[in-house]
A and B are shown apart, each in its own frame.
Chain A
Amino acid sequence: MNRIIAPPLPPAWSRRLDDILLHKVWGPLVFMMVVGSVFQTVFGLGQPLSNALQDLLTAVGQRAAPFVANGFLRSLLLDGIWKGVSSVLVFLPQILVLFLFIGLLEDSGYLARAALIADRTMSVVGLNGKAFIPLLSAYACAVPAIMASRTIENKRDRLATILIAPFMTCSARLPIYTLLIAAFIPERPVVGVFLGSRALAMLLLYVLGFAAAIGTAKVVKSSVLKSTPSPFVLELPEYRWPTLRSVGLRLFDRGRVFVQQAGTVILLVSLLVWGLTNLPLHQGQPPALEDSVVAHLGHLIEPAIRPLGFNWKIGVGLLTSVVAREVIVGTLGTLYGRDPQTRSVSLQAALQHDLRFSGAMALLVFFAFAMQCISTLAVVRRETNSWMWPAIQFAYMTGLAFLAALFVNGILSAMN
């Protein structure tokens, strides 16, 4: 008796769609288009919306400021609380845009296909195909990227993705990269008109972050997180039209979760840093930045960071940029602006005066590796539901940053 084995198949149109979307040639092409548009949208839509929201919130704060007479109280409400709240809300556009995209991809069924296509390359470093979109979006900002890693059901793969996401060169690093590169790297053509030395430097920094991410993934997946491997099993659901209702509800959910849970931590730390910058009081007025508690802390850590080529002002910048990486630019601007020696020159010139080339390169490398964003830590804490993982991540990344900066400074200053 010859029995024909015929397990029930999914609907024909769904299979036909897969014939195209998982085709040897068309599949990857569509994939790259989809992935490209995710990237483009988050950068081209999410980022500008975020900036616009920031400007709006800042403007609102400044309008309201004159209504509070007392200098200290005004600073507390405006620079402390309002700024802290804004720094949380400012992430919402990027989170919502990314999750809108992911919601559409997931509900339609395409996300599983994309994960399937990416899996071969990702598994080489021990990662899951589903990690591709979260890691890609980390190039814009790690905060929504880490939240997006929840599409990865495998716990260990998800954790590995969360741990390496902050290494991706996020857009908050760009202001300090641009500043230091412009100040310390003379513009020279490297590949004719196509590539200059400054663009090359920027590219190398991107590569550095990427390499650190891949390296960490390999290390982490072959040791700590390897103990009980689960096999990769991915269900390809049938294609269907996403509904506005379900995508909308999920957006609302994610936004609310972020603001309520990560937002509280971010706000608290912002207030803390504000406190350190605005104390001790002189006759009821906040002190000048160089007389504040944080400046004292900067002087305190100076011996530790001098081997990296940094001075106390950089130290203060490192401390304040815990809130957000780009804050260091503003902090340095204020400090150098008040120093009589550098007050009348541009920030670039001030840095050239105060830092050596080796120290500047070390600072770049430090920023590439260090875990400086409190919002990222807050989201990691929320997504891993523990304090241990964000603590480990902070220790590991900052340690790596310190050693790398030390190495770079040492090598480059020895060469001079």
Chain B
Amino acid sequence: MRILLSELEPGEAAVIDEVALPEAEQQLLIRFGFFDGAEVRCSRRAPLGDPTVYSVDGSEVALRAETACRIFASTVERRACEQTR
């Protein structure tokens, strides 16, 4: 199922499809592990609701909702479908 990263609830995991941000910002996110094909799990939200902490590549990285809503990802079912193609 295709979703925005910001829609991922704590405990849920997904695979990133696309980082829809300008090049420079994309590059920054890639360095931290947010690139297409990467596996991400939503770890927890900050006490006041924003930012949200994501588990990616063995470390925990926090993003604000304004950034996470520009990242497209797929949860398990969709990827499973694609792999049978």
Contacts and interface: CB of A to CB of B under 8 A. Distances in A.
- A–B proximity contact (CB within 8 A): yes
Interface of A: 1-10, 15, 18-19, 22-25, 27-28, 112, 116-117, 119-121, 123, 228-238
A302 B81 CA distance: 81
B85 to A, nearest CB: 11
28 contacts: A2-B80, A3-B79, A5-B75, A6-B39, A7-B41, A9-B41, A9-B55, A15-B43, A18-B43, A18-B53, A18-B60, A22-B47, A23-B47, A27-B46, A117-B46, A120-B46, A120-B49, A120-B50, A230-B24, A231-B21, A232-B64, A233-B61, A234-B51, A234-B61, A234-B62, A235-B32, A235-B59, A236-B53
A24 B44 CA distance: 10
Contacts of A236: 53, 59-62
Contacts of B43: 15, 18
B15 A5 contact: yes
B46 A233 contact: no
B contact face: mostly helix, strand, loop, or mixed = mixed
Contacts of A233: 28-29, 32, 61-63, 67
A68 B68 CA distance: 69
A116 B50 CA distance: 8
B53 to A, nearest CB: 6
A237 B66 CA distance: 22
Given A231-B21, A231-B28, A234-B61, 14 more contacts: A1-B83, A3-B83, A5-B76, A5-B79, A6-B39, A7-B41, A7-B55, A8-B58, A10-B55, A10-B58, A18-B60, A27-B47, A121-B48, A233-B32
A151 to B, nearest CB: 15
- Which of B32, B41, B59, B83 has its CB near the most chain A CB atoms (within 10 A)? B59
Nearest to A24: B47
B25 interface: yes
B14 interface: yes
Interface residues of B, number: 41
Contacts of A22: 44, 46-47, 53
B39 A7 contact: yes
A370 to B, nearest CB: 35
A3 B80 contact: yes
Contacts of B44: 18-19, 22
Nearest to B46: A116
A7 B13 contact: yes
B83 A116 contact: no
A120 B51 CA distance: 7
B5 interface: no
Given A28-B47, A233-B32, A5 B59 contact: no
Contacts of B38: 7
Contacts of A23: 47
Contacts of B24: 228, 230
B18 to A, nearest CB: 15
Closest 3 CB pairs of A and B: A120-B48, A7-B39, A236-B60
A237 B47 contact: no
A119 B64 contact: yes
Nearest to A15: B43
B76 to A, nearest CB: 6
A406 to B, nearest CB: 40
A23 B10 CA distance: 13
A237 B14 CA distance: 22
A117 B64 contact: no
Given A1-B80, A116-B51, A120-B50, A7 B60 contact: no
Interface string B8-47: 0000011100000100110011001000001111011011
B54 to A, nearest CB: 9
Nearest to B67: A231
B56 interface: yes
B64 A4 contact: no
Contacts of B46: 22, 27, 116-117, 119-120
B9 to A, nearest CB: 14
Nearest to A234: B62
Contacts of A120: 46, 48-51
B66 to A, nearest CB: 8
- Which of A18, A28, A231, A237 has its CB near the most chain B CB atoms (within 10 A)? A231
A5 to B, nearest CB: 4
Contacts of B51: 116, 119-120, 232, 234
Nearest to B12: A5
